[in-house]
Amino acid sequence: MKNWLKSASLATRLTLLVLLLTSLTWAAFSAVLLYETHDEVSELLDKQLYVYTELLWQSLDDSDDLKILISGKPDHLPRVVFSLYSSEGKLLLSSSEHVLPFQTEYEKKTRTITLDDHRWEIAVRQNDERQLIVGEPHQKREQLIDEIIEYLGITAMIALAILLPLLLLAIRQGLLPLRAVDAELARRAPDNLEALTLAVPREIAPLRNRLNTLFAQVSATLEKERRFTADAAHELRTPLAGLRVQIELAQGSPRPEAREKALKQALLGVDRSTHLVGQLLELARLDFAAIQTDQKVDIVQLAEYALQDAGLAPECLHTENTSTWYGHAGLLALLLRNLLDNAKRYTEENAAITIRINQNSICISDNGPGVPPEVLARLGERFYRPPGQSQTGAGLGLSIVHRIAELHRARVTLASDHGFQVTIRQESIGPSKSG
């Protein structure tokens, strides 16, 4: 049963729950209502019996009025009887063979007695001279009360029978927005990742928003995959074609020096392709991976290692007012290596390259020829290489730098006043998570 409930539809579970709770509540309410009705009707009959007793008491001195009252009893009191006693307990008058006994105690309220094996409800009225006792059998009272309760019970059952289908209909109507969302998703093509714009109730809005967020994330992931595939196919086609040409030249050339030159060019092509594939994979990893950038990093030590890997002197590093950086040590090392590699590639031999690190920024500069403004504006675009470049490359180094900076909540600024400068400025120092 439990497993069935878990696998049942939301409409079924909600319907069963509402119907069960409604039925239980209705049953409890009906029980209380019938109990209260029983008490209220009993109290009303008691009051009416006492009113009839007062009328008889006031008519005792007028025989005509007494006869009228005796013959004109209420319809719901067909067996009301009375007995009249003197103050000493002598029977003076009785309306039937059922003589009600003299009461030694007087209270202004009805009471229940047993007479001839039957229960009677009596009311007493007396003064110093006489006592009037008026009574009716309990059987008639209970019969009247039972009829009223039966009528109310049948009415309550009919009302419940009408209410339950209406509740079922209301539940079905209330779940229509979910059906609308389901129908909209069913109509969609697999590649349709546009946001849902259906108007839904407030309770369903979080689900719609979560779906829209998921669609956006999947769309971004697919776009990254398409971009990576297109970039890889575009950029690898040329070096691989050149590599094939050089190998064919080496195979077909009869001169050893020509074959050696072709093989050397093929090796350079392999190196370029390896470098390109490595950068593409690094860029793809940055695009798809969830990167933790909340670890403390010794940025000065990373800069020293990067200078060592680039074959530059430690004196190139200048620090002032440094503080603890938070980020991913491997990615920041990759950022520094890319910047130093670019600085070495595009400056003259023995050019001055400097790394300056202060409290929240890293600046790598050189005294090379710099770049014109129109080229500076496009640096950082994927696979963009300025025209007339003699150095090999794929145009991905600065793209990787920009992506790593973005993951670390940092901003990249390029300048070319005297030489070329790249500044990485972290907007806020502190633990964070990027993905």
pLDDT at 77: 47
Contacts of 233 (CB under 8 A, 6+ apart): none
**Residue 137 token pair:** 């059998």
pLDDT at position 155, please? 86
Bridge partners (DSSP) listed for residue 123: 134
Q: Cα-atom radius of gyration of the chain, to the nearest Å?
A: 50
Whether the Cβ atoms of residue 150 and residue 95 lie closer than 8 Å to each other: no
**What are the tens digits of pLDDT across the range 256-281?**
877 788 777 777 777 767 766 766 67
pLDDT score of 83: 86
The answer to whether residues 382 and 388 touch, using CB atoms and an 8 Å cutoff, is no
Scan for tokens 């950068």, then name that residue: 279
CB 100 within 8 A of CB 83: yes
Query: What pLDDT is attached to residue 76?
Result: 45
DSSP 102: P
Give the class (CATH, top level) of 2-171.
alpha beta
Q: Which amino acid is at 43?
A: E
Tokens of 313: 């002197």
Residue that wins the pLDDT comparison between 129 and 238: 129
Q: What is the arithmetic mean of pLDDT over 326-353?
A: 77
DSSP state of 433: B
Task: Please name the residues in contact with 369: beta carbons below 8 A apart, sequence gap of 6 or more.
Answer: 347, 419
Identify the pLDDT of residue 238: 57
Q: Tell me the pLDDT tens digit for each residue of 372-385.
A: 676 666 665 555 55
Q: Please report the pLDDT score of residue 393 as a whole number.
A: 46
DSSP code for 313: -
Q: pLDDT at position 109, please? A: 77
**Contacting residues for 112 by C-beta, under 8 A, at least 6 apart:** 119, 120, 121, 122, 138
In words, the CATH class of domain 205-285 is: mainly alpha
Contacts of 151 (CB under 8 A, 6+ apart): none
Residue spans of the domains in the chain: they are 2-171, 205-285, 290-426
Topology at the third CATH level for domain 290-426: Heat Shock Protein 90 (3.30.565)
Is 283 buried (19+), middle (13-18) or exposed (0-12) by CB count in 10 A? buried
pLDDT, average across residues 181-202? 78
What average pLDDT score do residues 394-411 get? 74
Digit-coded pLDDT (tens) for 84-136: 888 888 888 887 777 888 888 777 778 888 887 888 888 888 888 888 888 88
| 105, two tokens | 């105690």
Q: What b/e readout covers 126-141, taking b as 16+ CB neighbours within 10 angstroms?
A: beeebbbbbbbbbebb
Q: Residue 37 corresponds to which amino acid?
A: T
Report the C-alpha gap between 83 and 131 in whole angstroms.
Answer: 8
Angle at which helix 205-252 crosses helix 256-288, to 10 degrees, equals 170
CA distance 216 to 195: 8
Give the integer Cα–Cα distance in Å for 199 and 105.
76
Write the CB contacts of 161 (distance below 8 Å, at least 6 apart in sequence): none
Positions of E strands within 249-298: 295-297
Identify the helix (H) or strand (E) that includes residue 145. Answer: helix 138-174
**In the numeric block, which tokens belong to residue 30?**
């009906």
Residue 194 confidence (pLDDT): 81
Q: For 43-52, what is each residue's pLDDT tens digit?
A: 888 888 888 8
Question: What's the mean per-residue pLDDT of the chain?
Answer: 75
Question: pLDDT, tens digit, for every residue of 23-82?
Answer: 888 888 888 888 888 888 888 888 888 888 888 887 776 555 555 555 544 444 456 788
Which has more pLDDT, 169 or 289?
Answer: 169
**Running DSSP on this structure, what letter comes out for residue 100?**
P
Q: Where are the alpha helices (DSSP H) in 59-137?
A: 63-71
In this prediction, residue 299 carries a pLDDT of 83
Cα 282 from chain centroid? 36
Average of per-residue pLDDT across 136-140: 81
The 8-class DSSP code of residue 428 comes to: S
Helices (H), 8-137: 10-58, 63-71
**Quick one: which of 27, 15, 136, 128 has its CA closest to 75?**
136
